[in-house]
Structure 1
Amino acid sequence: MITLCGFSASNYYNKVKMVLLEKGIPFEEEMVKTGSTDEAVLNCTPLAKVPFIRTEQGAMCESQAIADYLELAYPQPALLPADPWAAGKVRELVVYVDWHLEMVARQLYYAAYFGGTISDEAKEKVRQQLVKNIAAFKRLAKFSPYLAGDTFTQADVAAWVSLPLISMSTKAMYGEDLLTAGGIDWKPYAKMIGERASAQKITADRKADQEKAAAKT
């Protein structure tokens, strides 16, 4: 049995959870916050990041490493094409979503969502980088109807959990959704992916956890 560790508000936690659900892999969930100093957690995820998984073979951290492991260990249903080139193009899109879009936008999250601050200089630097990277992403993404073409893949998992966060954070910080401004019509796409059973389960679980947390305050 696989145990998925982390929390439901994390997009990277939900990235792994969506892969598990799409593949029909049995798993359990364990609440673990990021930044833990517990040695048992650090032995699984040395930077105290989530998500990570526990298995009979040991622990593994980093969402994409986990997704690739699950693809090899549970090849059906496939979330990567069998053709090496096509699989490489899916991985290319994952890198763009995770690193060139989400990780850049992540610099805004503390100010956008948690009442933190960011200097005007840093804020403008992030905006310029995002505008550049969104234009580059637009050249690669097909949206026909899925990110890499006519098949649901790992790229769609990465995109569905992260594009809304990028949109909301840029709208909060700049007064406009930089994805939409950059010509990425992501909302109909996200709605389509959101109709999948895996997405509905993730959304329902996240809402339930939010309600539980609110009830405790």
Structure 2
Amino acid sequence: MPQPTTDTPSGRRLRLLAAAAVLAAAAALTLGLVVAPPDAVQGQPQRLMYVHVPAAWTAFASFTVVLVASVAYLLRRRPVWDAAAQAAAELGTGMTALAIALGSIWGRSVWGVWWAWDARLVTTAVLLLIYLGYLGVRGLSDDPDTNARRAAVIGIAGFVQVPIVHFSVLWWRTLHQEPTILAPDTSPPIDGRMAAALGAGFLAFTLAGAWFFLHRLAQLRIARVEPAAPVPVGPIVVERSES
């Protein structure tokens, strides 16, 4: 895979973004592991929230980018929109898998099981399968435009699952707690130190996700414009026939 150069203004901005993400991650770790108190009910396992929730947020934001870029590609057929959708889908799929893994560890500590047929868990697993399928259809055809159009349709239709995941804890009876931040009603605020740790986690994941997206987008754009390397051939030998 071709790599974007770092000796350009965009490359320098990526380095600054990466540095900011590292600093935010360090702050989030300090706040989450040292400053914030353990939960009164769940104890130490609750600290997984400072990674689990930002990972889910990053996934939702990524799939929103997939939606917008997919619509733009179908309307304008510009490869940059398809590249943006693919980069965002890769990020969102990875973050969804991370959220499921962390949720499983958290659930094992609190519920006593690694997995439950819970509305939030099942809808999130379906979300992961949708975007794995999105990435999978990109290799079904030799025609890049055909793959891009198929992926765009899935990227648009699949976004319906995002609000289903978010509101699943409100629409169905579930073991999962209700939304901590984007709750539709006015719920009691969490401890200020916990809120600070969670906010730092959001910032760290947002910056890291933005870095990955921009870096991957640059890779995909280079791959779409660079011609394939010529296949080396040996010297051509012409034999002269004797008359």
Task: Determine if the TM-score, normalized by the shorter chain, exceeds 0.5.
Answer: no
TM-score normalized by the length of structure 2: 0.28
| Structure (1/2) with the larger helix percentage | 2
Higher RCO (CA < 8 A, seq sep 6+): 2
Greater per-residue strand proportion: 1
TM-score scaled to structure 1, two decimals? 0.30
